[in-house]
């Protein structure tokens, strides 16, 4: 991951990397060479407190320094986990440490980051995402969606939710611009709409449908007909397993699987079946850790 990101930063170092609108809608910008410089500052400070494969817990909102921080952790070969606000509570943080097995450093080998499931459908779990797993995902999406240095990616997904890493790494791998907004703007549909589609020319957007449909019918119609938006990914899942392009055709299929992913139908005994009824599973062909 570090080599891919480093090569991209060097290639696009004079391009705008990050655009942040604060609560007063004032714009701050960083170029990719600034991302690298700030990353060096993080690296010089963190190298004294880090060990190979150690895990950093990050409790923060979206901010302009995140790409530099994550890049420095890649360089240190350290993984990270974004924390919920309630994990300031000692009891909650203790539960998380137990789940992580924080003293068992060997389980962090070749891990890029850790994400927590929401716990809405089952007990909350931690998922360790390997370097090869996320790299394969990013390269596949970058190629299929034709993400380039000309794109503007909205970095708005909650940091504890897997798709936020797609937004971040897609930009870092391709030299695209990351667009961030203050929390107050993100919570105001009208202000967010103006920033994304009037003030700027966002080309990549992923959202939960419930968030997308906070905009009016006329605004959504304008997004499809008049805006610069190139890719809109809607879903409630924590990560993507397949892509289907929605056209005017009446039937909508599941689409094509992403690289290193297969679909399997499993029966009641959780065994793969070739006929009859069962449950659909998307399975990574490797990298499950």
Q: What percent of the chain has pLDDT over 90?
A: 42
pLDDT digits (tens, 9 = 90+) for 185-215: 999 999 999 999 988 889 999 988 888 999 9
pLDDT at 281: 66
Instruction: Find all residues with CB under 8 Å of 40, minimum gap 6, and list them.
Output: 72
The token pair at 95 is: 């539960």
Locate 255 and state its tokens: 């689409």
pTM: 0.84
Among candidates 205, 231, 206, which has minimal Cα distance to 145?
231
Give the mean pLDDT of 216-241: 83
Average pLDDT over residues 22-51: 91
For the chain, the structural domain boundaries read: 2-237, 241-289
Distance CA 163, CA 237 (A): 9
Of the two residues 270 and 65, the one the predictor is more confident about is 65
Q: How many of the other CB atoms lie within 10 Å of CB of 287?
A: 16
Q: How far apart are CA 1 and CA 77, in angstroms?
A: 10
List of E strands, 70-173 = 79-82, 111-116, 126-130, 152-154
Backbone angles phi, psi at 159, to 5 degrees: -65, -20
Q: How confident is the model at residue 240 (pLDDT cuts 50, 70, 90)?
A: low
Could you tell me how many helices (H) and strands (E) the chain has, helices first? 10, 14
The secondary structure element, H or E, covering residue 136 is helix 131-144
Read off the pLDDT band of 92 (50, 70, 90). low
CA 30, CA 20: separation in Å to the nearest integer?
A: 9
Mean of pLDDT over the chain: 83
What is the structure's pLDDT at 84? Answer: 81
In the predicted model, what is the mean pLDDT of residues 263-277?
76
The CATH-assigned architecture of domain 2-237 is 3-Layer(aba) Sandwich (3.40)
Distance CA 241, CA 238 (A): 10
Question: What does the DSSP 8-state code read for residue 176?
Answer: P
Looking at residue 288, its pLDDT comes to: 42
pLDDT over 70, % of the chain: 78
Instruction: Report helix, strand or coil for 71.
Output: helix
- Please, which pLDDT band fits residue 132 given cuts at 50, 70 and 90? confident
At residue 287, does pLDDT exceed 60? no
- Using one digit for the tens of pLDDT, what is the confidence trace for 151-195? 999 999 999 888 899 999 999 999 999 999 999 999 999 999 999
**Across 185-278, where does the E strand assignment appear?**
204-207, 231-234, 242-243, 256-257, 261-266
């Amino acid at each position: 991951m570090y080599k891919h990101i480093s090569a991209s930063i060097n290639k696009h170092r004079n391009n705008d990397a990050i655009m942040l609108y604060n609560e007063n809608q004032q714009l701050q910008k960083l170029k990719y060479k600034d991302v690298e410089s700030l990353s060096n500052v993080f690296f010089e400070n963190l190298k004294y407190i880090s060990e190979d494969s150690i895990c950093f817990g990050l409790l923060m909102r979206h901010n302009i320094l995140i790409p530099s921080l994550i890049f420095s952790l890649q360089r240190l070969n350290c993984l990270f986990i974004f924390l919920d606000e309630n994990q300031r509570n000692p009891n909650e943080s203790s539960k998380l440490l137990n789940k992580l097995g924080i003293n068992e450093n060997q389980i962090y080998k070749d891990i890029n980051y850790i994400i927590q499931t929401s716990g809405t459908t089952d007990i909350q779990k931690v998922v360790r995402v390997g370097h090869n797993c996320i790299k394969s995902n990013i390269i596949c999406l970058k190629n299929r969606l034709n993400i380039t240095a000309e794109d503007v990616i909205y970095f708005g997904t909650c940091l504890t939710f897997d798709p936020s890493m797609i937004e971040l790494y897609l930009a870092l791998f391709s030299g695209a611009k990351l667009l961030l907004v203050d929390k107050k703007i993100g919570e105001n549909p009208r202000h967010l709409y103006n920033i994304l589609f009037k003030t700027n020319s966002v080309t990549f957007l992923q959202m939960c449908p419930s968030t997308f449909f906070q905009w009016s019918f006329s605004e959504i119609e304008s997004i499809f007909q008049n805006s610069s938006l190139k890719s809109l990914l809607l879903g409630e899942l924590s990560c993507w397993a397949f892509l289907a392009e929605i056209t005017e055709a009446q039937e909508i299929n599941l689409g094509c699987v992403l690289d290193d992913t297969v679909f399997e139908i499993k029966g009641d005994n959780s065994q793969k079946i070739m006929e009859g009824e069962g449950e659909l599973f998307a399975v990574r062909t490797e990298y499950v850790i």
